[in-house]
Chain A
Amino acid sequence: MALILRDWPPYRIFWSSATFAFKALFSWLRPAMWLTQLLVLPLFQMAFFVYLSRFVNPGTTGVAFIAVGNALQVASFSSIFAVCNLTSEEKWQGTLTPLIVTPANRFPLFVGRAMFQILNSIATIVVGFFYASVVFGVDMSRTDFVALSVVILVTCLAMTGFGLMLGSVGLYMRTAMIIANIFLFIGLLVCGVNFPVTVLPTWLQPVSYAIPMTYGTMAARAAVEGSSLVLLAPVILQEIAAGAISVFVGYLLFLGFEALARRKGTFEEF
C-alpha cells in the first residue's frame, strides 16, 4: 500500500510538502525553542485566566470551565498562527513563485504544508489537558477519553483548515501576520473558551459559530463531564462542517490568488 501511495503524485506532493515544511520550520526553530513553545505557552495562558477567574470568583467552580477551554484554545498558535503564516513566509523568502510554477496539484500542495502543525496542535492540546488536570486540579475522573480524543483530533483538523483559509486571505495582503494575530486571540473572546458564547452580544454570536473551535470547546467540556461519542456526534459533525467549509473557501481563495497574481505579476509583493 505504501509503495502504491508513494508513486501516486498527489500523495507524493502532500508528503513532500509536509516533510519540507517540517524541515524548514526546524531550520530556524530549534527543538529546544519548540519545546518551550509547546510547554510554556499553554501553562501561562491557562494560568492567566484561571487566576483571573479565581480573583473574580474565589470558589473554584469556574476553573474547570476556563482550564478546559484554554487547553483547547492554545492549539491556535499552531493551527492558526503558524499555518496562516506559511504562505506569508514563502512570499517573504521569495519561494512562492518557484512553488507556484510547478505543475503540482494545488490541493495536496496547499494542505500538505499544514500537516506538521496539525500534529503540533494535538501535542499542545494534550499538554494543555495535562496542566488542566495536574496543575489546576480539573477533575477528569468521569472523562470519556475516546470522545475527548476524537474531539481533540477533529478540532485540530478543523482549526488547521480555518488557518489555511486565513492564510489564503493573507495572500492578498501585504502579510498574513496581522490576520494571524487577530484570529490567534479572538478565539479567547468568541469561542466559548472563558465563558459561554451566550454571554456575548447576539450580533457577535454568528462569528462564534463560524469558527470550529466553538464547537470544540463545547464538546470537550461535555467529554470531560462524561458524555459519550454518540451524544457528542451532532456537535462534532458541526465542527467538521465548519472546518470543511473553511478548507474549501481557503482553497478557492488560493486558486483565485494564483490567477490574479499571474495576471498582475505580483506573487512576491509584500
Chain B
Amino acid sequence: MYHSSKGILRKNRQVVEAVKGISFDVEFGELFGLVGPNGAGKTTTIKMLTTLLTPTSGAAKVLGFDIVKDVVEIRRRIGIIFGGERGLYYRVSGRENLRYFADLYSVPLSKRERRLSELLETVGLSDRADDKVESYSRGMKQRLHIAKGLVNDPELIFMDEPTIGLDPQAARDTRAMIKQLVQKGKTILLTTHYMFEADELCHRIGVISNGEIAALDTPEGLKRFVKDITVIEVEAFGVVDADIASLRRQPDVKAVSANLEGERQTVRIQTPKGSEFIPEVTKVLSGAKIFDIRTKEPTLEDAYLRLVT
C-alpha cells in the first residue's frame, strides 16, 4: 500500500492498495511473464521482489532469500532492467555508466574491464561505448539498460516493460537478446503490455488485475480461456464509445476491445456465436462506415481481455 496526496494546503491523503494478493513461483531457467493493465500492480510487484519496496503484509523469497530481511543477498544476485528513457547518466559515456554500476555491484576489479567490454559487445554498443549517453538513440539506451542489468552477471533478471517506446526493429532486437539470456540459463521475470511479446517469449504468464492474479498458466493454457469463442474483428470509421457500450450489453458478447483512434478503427468482439453474430454487430455499428469484418481465432490478447475485464 502506498500513500498519494492531492491539494496544496489540505492534502487529501489516500491509501492505495496497489497489490492485494499475489502468489506465484518461478522456476530456475524460466522466463516468467507478468501482464496486466496499467495500475494492475505489476511494477509494484517487481519493486517488492527487487527489494525497492517493502510489502505491507505477506512474504516472498527470491533465490531463497527473504525480500525484507536478506536485502543485500538478493541485490547481489539479481539484475534490474526497467524500460524507459531515464535511469542512465546522460552526461557521461555508456562505458562509464557500466563502470559505475560495476563498482556499486562490487564486480572484482580484475574482471571489471573485461566484463564491460564483453557486455558492450553483446548489446552491440562497442563502437559507441565512449560517447555520452545523451547522444544515444532510444534503442541504444535500452541496450545499455540491458548491459547495466547484466553487469553483475545475475542469476535472476527482472525486466519491467523492456520494449516500451522502442521502434519495431529495436524491440525485435531486444526480444532476441532476452531469448539469448534464457538460453544461457538465466531466469527472467518480465512484465509487459504486449500480449504478442508475452506469447512469443514466456514459458508461463501470470495475469494481474486489480492487484490480484486472475490467471497463471502457459500461453497455450491461457488461450483455453477463450477456446469457446470466436473473435469478430471489425475495421471501421465512425465508431463511437456508445457503440462499444452497446455491444458490451449484448448477451452473446463476452468481451469487446476497441482502438478508436485514427481513421482505421478496430473493434474486436468475443462471442461464442461466431459468424452468426455478424449481423448483430453490423446493426449496432450501423452509424459507422465498415471497411472490413472477419472472424478470427482467439489470441492470447483475447484471453487476457477476458481475464481483466
Contacts and interface: CB of A to CB of B under 8 A. Distances in A.
B85 to A, nearest CB: 10
A197 B8 CA distance: 42
Interface string A21-44: 001001000010000000000000
Contacts of B9: 31
Contacts of A23: 8
Contacts of A26: 8
Interface residues of B, number: 2
Nearest to B8: A26
Nearest to A27: B8
Query: Interface of chain B, helix or strand or loop or mixed?
Result: loop
Nearest to A29: B8
Interface string A180-198: 0000000000000000000
Contacts of A31: 8-9
A200 to B, nearest CB: 38
A31 B8 CA distance: 8
A31 B11 CA distance: 11
A205 B8 CA distance: 44
A78 to B, nearest CB: 18
Query: Interface of chain A, helix or strand or loop or mixed?
Result: helix
Interface in A69-100: none
Interface residues of A, number: 3
A25 to B, nearest CB: 10
A23 B8 CA distance: 8
A68 to B, nearest CB: 33
Interface in A3-32: 23, 26, 31
B39 to A, nearest CB: 21
Interface in B182-214: none
Interface in B1-26: 8-9
A31 B10 CA distance: 10
A23 B9 CA distance: 11
A26 B6 CA distance: 11
Contacts of B8: 23, 26, 31
Nearest to A23: B8
A191 B309 CA distance: 66
Nearest to A22: B8
A109 B9 CA distance: 26
A212 B1 CA distance: 52
Interface string A45-57: 0000000000000
A174 to B, nearest CB: 11
Nearest to B9: A31
A100 B87 CA distance: 28
A26 B8 CA distance: 7
Interface string A247-262: 0000000000000000
Interface string A226-250: 0000000000000000000000000
Nearest to A25: B8
A23 B6 CA distance: 11
B3 to A, nearest CB: 14
A26 B9 CA distance: 9
Nearest to B7: A26
A120 to B, nearest CB: 15
Nearest to B11: A30
Interface string B136-155: 00000000000000000000
A54 B13 CA distance: 49
B6 to A, nearest CB: 10
Interface in A106-160: none
A92 to B, nearest CB: 12
B272 to A, nearest CB: 46
B136 to A, nearest CB: 16
Interface in B67-110: none
A98 B36 CA distance: 31
A26 B5 CA distance: 13
A35 B250 CA distance: 58
A69 B103 CA distance: 51
A184 to B, nearest CB: 24
A31 B9 CA distance: 7
A127 B8 CA distance: 23
A22 to B, nearest CB: 9
A240 B8 CA distance: 34
A173 to B, nearest CB: 16
4 contacts: A23-B8, A26-B8, A31-B8, A31-B9
Interface of B: 8-9
Closest 4 CB pairs of A and B: A26-B8, A31-B9, A31-B8, A23-B8
